[in-house]
Amino acid sequence: MTLAIGDAIPAVTPLDADGAAIDLAALKGAPLVVYFYPKADTPGCTVEAQDFTRLAPEFAKLGAQVLAVSRDAPAKLCKFRDKYGLTVRLASDEGGEMCEAFGTWVEKQNYGRTYMGIERSTFLFGADGKLAREWRKVRVKGHAEAVLEAAKSL
């Protein structure tokens, strides 16, 4: 499954780093950024989380929330958050329901090996809860800034 522009926020409920349920549908009413990253505490994923954390005050000025999703367990996300002082909300999709709903669980290749994993992707929802913009196969450098600019245009 994959989302298309204009689709509603999928009705999924992941856990945050502290084990609390996050009802995505309840986040409707303000812009929402949902970004998927492969694995906590790896170089690219750390830089991306730090970039979104650095820009968190700018997103907050827009009323936008940022949710970072991986398939890591909440305990690992808690360590990741605390180690780097991250302020973006980290969500655990251990069972893969969010990845399935957003179409981010894909076949990947690395050094000739084929495997399933998270495609680094970002989704921007408007206050109406509809998908306004998406980025697939994200390159980390400058990405958080690009998402912020897009959020400003909502």
CA distance 45 to 48: 5
Residue pair 85/53 in contact by the 8 Å Cβ criterion: yes
**Whole-angstrom distance, CA of residue 48 vs CA of residue 92:** 16
Nearest Cα neighbor of 50 from 151, 150, 140, 146 is: 140
45 in active site: yes
Q: Which amino acid is at 69?
A: V
Q: In terms of Cα–Cα distance, which of 26, 102, 97, 22 is closest to 67?
A: 22
Catalytic residue among 9, 32, 34, 45: 45
Whole-number Å distance between alpha carbons of 46 and 58: 19
Q: Which two tokens stand for residue 6?
A: 């204009």
In this structure, are residues 1 and 12 in contact, taking their beta carbons and an 8 Å threshold?
no
Residues classed as catalytic? 45
